[in-house]
Structure 1
Amino acid sequence: MTDNAETTDTAGTNATAGPATAGTDTAGADTAGADTTGPGTTAGGVEFGVDTFGSVTVAGDGTPVTQAQAIRDLVDDVVLADEVGLDFFGVGEHHRPDFAVSSPEMVLSAAAARTTKIQLGSTVTVLSSDDPVRVYERFATLDAVSNGRAEIVAGRGSFIESFPLFGYDLSDYEVLFEEKLELLAELLRDQPVTWQGTTRAPLSNQRVYPTTEKPIPAWVGVGGSPESVVRTAKYGFNLFLAIIGGEPARFAPYIDLFKRAQDEYGVPHRPVAVHSPGLVAETDEAARELVYDGWLKSRKKIGRERGWPPPQPGDFEAEIETGSLYVGSPETVAKKIATTVRALGVNRFDLKYDQSEVTHAVRQTSIGLYGESVVPLVKDILAGR
């Protein structure tokens, strides 16, 4: 989930929109993000969510479930996350056999009918191979059926299957995202919109429907590119950092850059969220045993696709101890999350809970422990209790 090739708001009723007034009937702010409330600015402090790429789980005998069943299970996961009090649930867009969800908005709409409080968003929508007008329309519709709980996280797409699938040339990778993010910002900021570029037909004094009753929180998912951080500030979006390897504290310069860039563009400071993978079990040993085989298989597979070096002995333990893998008992995971939140000063932490090669029951146990045990422990640690 990253802007760079990108992923992964503000949960709750005080959620901050990205580029200003998000197509509401009263839209018309002069600058993006005029409202500076958001996650971490309420009395409840930092917000906590989970997200998923829609990984296909395994049944009790170790065989993969169908993609259809994986989607149905995912909707059940959203319901559980709502029940245990989490603030946000994100679903990523992919077009490949190991990830079941190609249309996050459809899955989230199903979840909206069965939940009441949790914010529902994409992590991410691959904006480069989509139409910003259609993206706006789909999320405005989700916002309506969920009673104002929709969020957008836009990204360039770290998985590139959607480009040839929808007829886009990878040589246009940069211009596609730049122009489409600009247009999405315009649609969220104010309507009617007049826009012209090279990647789609121009718009002239155009309104897009449905209108929304309040701003839609909007983020850009970024994986580690300074240019992407500056772009996010330029267009007035919230920043969603995908921290999937190495020490989380190394991302502090990106957050500092985001603040400086916003100052240079003369826009209010926007919220910052981070997303990292993990799994919570009753003990550290149980959690590590559940995650290791799937982690190793996934690292090797994606590494071959992207030309990464193969994982080395000790990598798994290092990622758990000091890196970006939040695996362990509630106490272990809570301490690590609190350390990350303090080091980076972020407004929200999202746990990517869908580790591969585990059963749906294991994932549900992880969500339950995260919401009922980990989050209260993190809040106590941050409050000095």
Structure 2
Amino acid sequence: MKRCDVAVVGAGPAGSRVARLLAERGFRVALIEEHSEVGRPVHCTGLVSARTLSLLGRVQMLNKVSGVRAFPPEGKPLEIVAHEPKAAIIDRAACDAMLAQEAVEKGAEMMLGKKATEITINESRARIKCHPEGELDARLVIGADGISSAVRRAMGAAPPAELLPAVTAEIPIPVEWRRDLVDIYVGRKVAPGFFAWAVPADKVLRVGLASNPGTQQLALLERLIKKRFGDAPRLSLNAGAIPIGLTERAHGLRSLLVGDAAGHVKPLSGGGIYLGLTCAGLCADAAERALNSDKLSEKGLAGYTRACKREIGKELSRSLKMRKLFVSLTDEDMRVALDLLRPADVVAAVALHGDIDFPSRLAKPVLHRAPGLMRFSPKLLKALL
């Protein structure tokens, strides 16, 4: 049986970053990935901020975008364009593979094609059984294994409050398409409980949506593509889900959670790379302290959950309030709200202050310029000022 200091389950960005950080600090690290190839299948648009690019390091950019077109249920879209790029679209599969390779180069052992099927944790160790074969004993197990985290189940931790099914298709980019803009489509008939998007990469357009459980995501997506892009061929189709809300605790006996497994996802956009990478650093620090002091009890690891909440909790709390308001809006409310954002000074404020990692920072400059938005939820919006 293999033995290591740390078993990281899941080789997404957060898991690979934790594995690299701990391996370069001298710990014996195993990085367990259920797929035979890191980064595939792809469940992400690859839209990231400059802030995230700096965390990723060298990464292949496919495109840069400087603005957004927001399509209401009825009426003309609202276009907001900044004077400089606000985000980039990366090759997500290549990015994941690069991060995993960096972990291996620092000394982590990669275990590809191994699905963690049984995890038992006790006072002396964490044992991970894999399929098709393999068994591993670790002093600490870190769950970076996504929305259906096996590590989280073994910890007995509750999942995030919501889970929104999502589906994305790739289609050829229309010749006339503006590659510097991302499209957002809102409305209860489009994507109830969330929104739809069209993100331009290099040669393809990534069109997708998330919506409430129980709705027909694929049918909604097909209807959107037909309406907006006609008979465009589907080059690929992937399904996934977006967790909304932090897990109550991201720590347990000899165990930690990071990334989607812990709900480290932005409630308004569904993006998780930035938060996952940020918390991966906190996770590595907590793991290092616990391993060096041999304080691997639930109490000994509790500081990690507190650290995550200090780092990202305020923004997530504010974003959850904004999401609560967003999902309460009727289609007519959506149309009115977008109309209130059309004046030039409001558009300029959004273009200047818009930040996909910290969307709540828009509340104050926008509400000062468009006080009519207060009608939708005065108490909630005042709390954001």
TM-score range, shorter chain: under 0.3
Normalised by the length of structure 2, the TM-score is 0.26
* Structure (1 or 2) with the greater strand fraction: 2
Normalised by the length of structure 1, the TM-score is 0.26
* Rg comparison, structure with higher value: 2
Choose between structure 1 and 2 for higher RCO, CA contacts under 8 A separated by at least 6 residues.
Answer: 1
